[in-house]
Structure 1
Amino acid sequence: MERPLLVTDFLDRARRYYGEHEAVVATTGERYTYDEFGDRVDRFAAFLESAGIGKGDRVAVLDPNTHYHLEAAHGIMNLGAVHTPLNYRLTPNEFEYILSDAEVDAIYADYDYAGKIESIRDEVPVETFVTNDADAVEGDWLDFEDVIDNDGAFERPEMSEDEVITINYTSGTTGDPKGVMRTHRCETLHAYLTILHQDIEDTDVYYWTLPMFHVNGWGHIYAVTGMGAKHICARGVDVETVFEALREEDVSYLCAAPTVLNQFGAYYDAHDVPVQGANDVRVATAGASPPEATIRTIEDELGWHIMHVYGATETGPLVTTSDFGRFIDDESRFRVKKRQGIGFLGTEIRVVDEDGEDVPRDDSTIGEIVVRGNQVMEEYWNKPEETEEAFNDRVEGYYHMGDLATVDENGFVAIRDRKKDIIISGGENISSIELEDTIFEHPAVADVAVIPSPSEEWGETPKAFVVPESGDLDEPGVTREEITAFTRERLASYKVVRRIEFVTELPTTATGKVQKYELREREWADEDEMVGQG
């Protein structure tokens, strides 16, 4: 029997079997059962329908991890509309690009971020503006609680599993974000895989440290909901509050970038507080590997279980994990957990050379990671050339991750370098080309190259090598502090360039192409790998 895979099934299931069980603990203290949560979702869907939103229309959500985000997302998808979450750390100009590029019809924005949208209101196609505190927002905004004051009646359309249901924007090497189009099918199967490989059960209490906008919270807006587990919402990561929730709410599961893991370890060292309630704690960390010292602190001192996963926005994101017990013993634990791992069930991971051939399992030959799986995106929104390249660069029909890696005798991949001009700082993707374009606008800058630089706090952070227009390193005509301020005025806060080195020239090929690899080699000479832990 064939039954369509639809993201609406997750909340439907939770309401059917867990209606009277607690579903969501709001940042404002309210607690909702799945019946109550589902009712609020219905009423938001009914409002959107009354505002003319229908199947295929794009609706944006700009919100930290509050219950409103969950309600808006599920309400949007109940109409077959396309959930388009936004990174709340972006600038108004970036929001203008995304809202216009996706042709967004309506937006829900948290009161803390609605001002950024209000400042570009006349430049975007959005017609319906909703916030969770209209009194706190300038301009003409509808209040979420007012718009859901209805009977919750709406007509759910017929939907196909091959229809796009989310668009997630990701930073690209060109500086312009790309919209990753994901269908009901790939979202559903990714959530199934997350449930399987992250051991999600109905007794879980999930604490929202991972941004919900980040690939739909790695699919946890579906997975945690569908299993009937409990969501604990949180506006950002406050370490003290996390430890309180671990004890008072019996949190069993959370996600944390390596930088956040370090914050947990440092807080525990300074305060020696209880680190859990009635439940054992497991924590998923993604991307480049956490340092061995971090794994040791979290597992041996706090007693939490680390699950290292890897992926990209385009791939769901999750495609691998190193959390496979048969490969882990006391002697190998840190060596294995630092690796990106092997593929999720039903996911094909290869590391290929420039000719598209698999590299040997010698843990020294470097190739690019490519992947095929049901959780991989459909395509980029309105970017056919980028889509074609992403799936057919070295080998046809695989998504090319842009990460260079080796493979050991067990098939575990380990990232060694990065092919893309992307810096991953504290879990956020930053386009080095975007930073270069920004710095180059300064009249005192003749040329610039930006690379990732190692950072204990963030794993890696942007560093700019600047050739001054004056040609004089002693009198460059601009200070490092002025360049930092210049980027702060034009970029989101996490993209600000704080490390600057003035140089007389940049290393180039015979054709004049900047050889960033040489700069990275020099910058990372004292590190084990040329990839950060962020």
Structure 2
Amino acid sequence: MENNNNNPYSLGLEKNAANYAALTPLSFIERAASVYPDRTAVIYGDVRRSWSETYQRCIRLASALRKRGIGQGDTVAVMLPNIPEMLELHFAVPMTGAVLNTQNTRLDSETVAFMLDHGEAKVMITDREFSDVVHKAVRMASVDPLVIDVDDPQFTGGDLIGSMNYEQLLAEGDLSDHWQPPEDEWQAITLNYTSGTTGNPKGVVYHHRGAHLNAISNIIGQNLPPHAVYLWTLPMFHCNGWCYPWSVTAVAGTHVCLRHLQPEKVFELIQACGVTHFCGAPVVLNMLLNAPDQAKAQVDHPVTVTTGGAAPPAAIIEGMEKIGIQVVHAYGLTESYGPSVFCAHQDEWDALELEQKAAKMARQGVRAPALEQLMVADTETLEPVPRDGQTLGEVFMRGNNIMQGYLKNPSASDAAFAGGWFHTGDLAVWHADGYVEVKDRSKDVIISGGENISTIEVEDTLYRHPAIMEAAVVAKHHEHWGEVPCAFVTLKEGSSATEEEIINFTRDNMAHFKCPKQVVFAPLPKTSTGKVQKFALRAMLKDLA
């Protein structure tokens, strides 16, 4: 582009300290504490802390970490449940310039050791509940991190394996030791590892700018009001809790922490704390729907749940709406800071029958405010597919809430960003109204006799069977057709159904070639975020064969 020195807007209008600051979610907690110091920031059992108290704890923790040599470019690894300390670390660690690596609480020692080494962790903060796994991982790892225990009185068991506990570390900090925001908003803020179902997990790097923008995007996408009361049912380690530690703080809301996900406890806290919002995978919503009726009857005020991580069956959306909980469907990946697409509600949907409305809401939707562009296109040519709701393509994204890249893996980063778009690996159709509907992961789609079968579509039908509590579909080898669907189902307690009954039910409700040819009754293996582990189901299928 030719430089036009005559452009009046190119001279004397440079960035300076008065008109520019690097975007960072750290500014949210400083504002919450200064504007609403006495408002409740955290509820956890008998613990109640205001925003001023929470902010002071973050300052002290950041100071203590700096005194121990932690600063820009260092990694602080964390394996904790949804407790107040986990929230504080989302602010305290980046206040030092370091990078927060929140680890999946269901990982094995070998994987944890890999992540400690790959991220070059200087500190590992853990909890007695995970002491066995973490202790083995630290001994296996090449790095030698400072190990800190959170000694939570709400948990009984496990061991203290660190050199000190969290409160002792906090006491080392100086409240007058003020933190500095990043000079560059592109500076890394967190490291999140992908699930790693095949090979080692990849380290996804977030920056301050993306975390700030995606937090704001969540507020708009979920209609998060000032002083929302947010219940932590979604693991805070997963995509940094979809950025909600920062979103809820930005509206000076209240974080209601929940160590273990128990449906009855969820409903109890919704009522007792006046919870207005929470998040969870469809499997979490299904657990809530199957809670005792007495528990569900406690919901007597407006509550909104954002669901994602897997496509929610329309039947689950219908069920949640019936018990008075409004559903917002979000879609995203670890690489997109969690939610980057929302199924934005249209007023005319309210006139539809509940089943039709739920079908609209089950689509992934349109780009979130922070996402610049979204398209469904041919995987090879990047040519957009027709908006006909039929033609299958891959979902592509670009914008400020896409990761920096994969840590120490430039080839994987280059592949993910080929053609100037982030390649999600999800297959979808594009509807005439611009809404995207994911049909499958590219690795999960079933090709039977040359026809593509969406496992999501088959699962959606299975969830409508009155006896089925959970369902997942994978491909089964077939001599003639190549592949056919096989359904794994878990029945509701006290219900019964035969394989023949379930297959006949699907044949009554969808094209016959899409119907399962086999039904296996078994519990569904899941990740800690509620995603069904289809690779494990495929292995079970091989064993059955």
Query: Aligned pair 1:334/2:355, yes or no?
Result: no
Amino acid at match of 1:501: L
Query: Aligned pair 1:133/2:168, yes or no?
Result: no
Q: Which of 312, 322, 325 is 1:290 aligned to?
A: 312
In 1, Cα distance between equivalents of 2:246 and 2:433: 32
Kindly report structure 1 stretches of 4+ aligned residues shifted beyond 6 Å.
461-466
In 1, Cα distance between equivalents of 2:245 and 2:30: 13
In 2, Cα distance between equivalents of 1:179 and 1:458: 31
Amino acid at match of 2:121: V
Alpha-carbon offset, residue 114 of structure 1:
2.6
The verdict on how the C-alpha distance between 1:100 and 1:201 changes in structure 2, with shifts beyond 3 A counting, is: same
In 1, Cα distance between equivalents of 2:398 and 2:162: 46
What's 2:441 paired with?
418
The within-5 A match list for 1:81-230 is 81-124=98-141, 125-133=143-151, 136-150=158-172, 151-157=174-180, 159=182, 160-172=184-196, 174-230=198-254
Amino acid at match of 1:386: A
What's 1:361 paired with?
387
Q: Which of 44, 51, 69 is 1:52 aligned to?
A: 69
What's 1:17 paired with?
35
In 1, Cα distance between equivalents of 2:541 and 2:39: 57
Amino acid at match of 2:187: E
1:465–1:503: 8 Å Cα contact kept in structure 2?
A: no
The verdict on how the C-alpha distance between 1:422 and 1:152 changes in structure 2, with shifts beyond 3 A counting, is: farther
Amino acid at match of 1:311: G
Alpha-carbon offset, residue 465 of structure 1:
7.6
Query: Aligned pair 1:351/2:385, yes or no?
Result: no
The verdict on how the C-alpha distance between 1:264 and 1:385 changes in structure 2, with shifts beyond 3 A counting, is: same
Alpha-carbon offset, residue 112 of structure 1:
0.5
The verdict on how the C-alpha distance between 1:380 and 1:422 changes in structure 2, with shifts beyond 3 A counting, is: farther
What's 2:333 paired with?
312
Superposed CA offset, 1:511-532 (max 9, x none): xxxxxxxxxxxxxxxxxxxxxx
The verdict on how the C-alpha distance between 1:155 and 1:458 changes in structure 2, with shifts beyond 3 A counting, is: farther
Amino acid at match of 2:218: T
What's 1:433 paired with?
none
What's 1:235 paired with?
259
3-state secondary structure, aligned to 2:85:
helix
1:14–1:227: 8 Å Cα contact kept in structure 2?
A: yes
The verdict on how the C-alpha distance between 1:174 and 1:383 changes in structure 2, with shifts beyond 3 A counting, is: farther
1:7–1:187: 8 Å Cα contact kept in structure 2?
A: yes
Alpha-carbon offset, residue 199 of structure 1:
1.1
Amino acid at match of 1:190: N
Query: Aligned pair 1:500/2:521, yes or no?
Result: no
In 1, Cα distance between equivalents of 2:290 and 2:423: 36
How many percent of aligned residue pairs carry the same amino acid?
31
1:206–1:229: 8 Å Cα contact kept in structure 2?
A: yes
The verdict on how the C-alpha distance between 1:3 and 1:493 changes in structure 2, with shifts beyond 3 A counting, is: closer
Alpha-carbon offset, residue 263 of structure 1:
1.6
Alpha-carbon offset, residue 148 of structure 1:
1.3
What's 2:518 paired with?
none
The verdict on how the C-alpha distance between 1:327 and 1:158 changes in structure 2, with shifts beyond 3 A counting, is: same
Task: Could you tell me which runs of 5 or more consecutive residues in structure 2 were left unpaired when the two chains were aligned.
Answer: 1-18, 447-454, 463-467, 479-521
Alpha-carbon offset, residue 290 of structure 1:
2.0
Superposed CA offset, 1:377-405 (max 9, x none): 1111001000011111xxx1110110111
In 2, Cα distance between equivalents of 1:86 and 1:220: 17
In 2, Cα distance between equivalents of 1:139 and 1:385: 37
Q: Which of 472, 490, 494 is 1:460 aligned to?
A: 472
Task: Could you tell me which runs of 5 or more consecutive residues in structure 1 were left unpaired when the two chains were aligned.
Answer: 424-450, 467-483, 506-534
The verdict on how the C-alpha distance between 1:380 and 1:420 changes in structure 2, with shifts beyond 3 A counting, is: farther
3-state secondary structure, aligned to 2:171:
coil
Query: Aligned pair 1:388/2:414, yes or no?
Result: yes
Alpha-carbon offset, residue 502 of structure 1:
4.5
The within-5 A match list for 1:27-42 is 28-42=45-59
The verdict on how the C-alpha distance between 1:242 and 1:272 changes in structure 2, with shifts beyond 3 A counting, is: closer
Superposed CA offset, 1:401-429 (max 9, x none): 10111011101111112114699xxxxxx
1:45–1:152: 8 Å Cα contact kept in structure 2?
A: no
In 1, Cα distance between equivalents of 2:364 and 2:177: 44
Amino acid at match of 2:124: I
Alpha-carbon offset, residue 155 of structure 1:
4.7
The verdict on how the C-alpha distance between 1:121 and 1:273 changes in structure 2, with shifts beyond 3 A counting, is: closer
2:472–2:532: 8 Å Cα contact kept in structure 1?
A: no
1:275–1:302: 8 Å Cα contact kept in structure 2?
A: no
In 1, Cα distance between equivalents of 2:544 and 2:83: 49
Alpha-carbon offset, residue 376 of structure 1:
0.7
Pairwise CA RMSD: 2.9
Query: Aligned pair 1:67/2:118, yes or no?
Result: no
The alignment of Structure 1 onto Structure 2 pairs a total of residues equal to: 449
What's 2:495 paired with?
none
What's 2:508 paired with?
none
1:79–1:156: 8 Å Cα contact kept in structure 2?
A: yes
Alpha-carbon offset, residue 203 of structure 1:
2.7
Query: Aligned pair 1:262/2:290, yes or no?
Result: no
Q: TM-score, normalised by structure 2?
A: 0.77
Amino acid at match of 2:145: E
What's 2:24 paired with?
6
1:349–1:372: 8 Å Cα contact kept in structure 2?
A: yes
Alpha-carbon offset, residue 303 of structure 1:
1.1
In 2, Cα distance between equivalents of 1:71 and 1:310: 26
The verdict on how the C-alpha distance between 1:158 and 1:25 changes in structure 2, with shifts beyond 3 A counting, is: closer
In 2, Cα distance between equivalents of 1:143 and 1:464: 50
Amino acid at match of 2:406: Y
3-state secondary structure, aligned to 2:21:
coil
3-state secondary structure, aligned to 1:40:
helix
The verdict on how the C-alpha distance between 1:248 and 1:414 changes in structure 2, with shifts beyond 3 A counting, is: same
Greater shift in the superposed pair: 365-374 or 38-47: 38-47
In 1, Cα distance between equivalents of 2:413 and 2:470: 30
Alpha-carbon offset, residue 72 of structure 1:
2.1
1:464–1:497: 8 Å Cα contact kept in structure 2?
A: no
In 1, Cα distance between equivalents of 2:101 and 2:542: 40
1:56–1:82: 8 Å Cα contact kept in structure 2?
A: yes
In 2, Cα distance between equivalents of 1:320 and 1:294: 20
1:247–1:274: 8 Å Cα contact kept in structure 2?
A: no
Amino acid at match of 1:47: A
2:428–2:436: 8 Å Cα contact kept in structure 1?
A: yes
Amino acid at match of 1:352: A
Alpha-carbon offset, residue 67 of structure 1:
0.4
Superposed CA offset, 1:125-159 (max 9, x none): 14211111299525443111122124334352451
2:370–2:399: 8 Å Cα contact kept in structure 1?
A: yes
Alpha-carbon offset, residue 316 of structure 1:
1.3
